[in-house]
Amino acid sequence: MEPVLAILVGLFFAAALYLMLSKVTIRLMLGIAILGNAVNLLLFTAGRVTREVPPIIPDGMDTLPSDAANPLPQALILTAIVISFSLLAFLLVLTYRAYQTLKTDDTDQMRTAEPRERPLPPMGY
């Protein structure tokens, strides 16, 4: 199961990077969302995907058995899901307001805050 999940993580990262290199803000936002899901799946895969042994420490042992699933990545993923959802909601509102104000979703055309002809930087101090 881990090799299939590793390939899926690689595909998620590739799709996220492809979308994040786009000039359209909606694609950029979707790329960030897919990147968050790729990282979550990577953490889940790193925590050993097993169903045979629950992550419970048996009597007489101090640590988990070696074939048990690690519960720490699962807890980290739950936290990351909440954080990525709030980031996605913020980006959605930011993208919507930028589109309302600037009437475009192309990042090259969103240069109203920056002048076209920039002055040269100082050559010395």
85 in Cβ contact with 79 (< 8 Å):
no
pLDDT of residue 64: 77
Q: What is the pLDDT of residues 51-102, one digit of tens each?
A: 667 777 888 888 877 777 777 888 889 999 999 999 999 999 999 998 998 8
User: Is residue 100 within a helix (H) or strand (E), and if so which, with residue range?
Assistant: helix 71-102
Structure tokens at 39: 């990282």
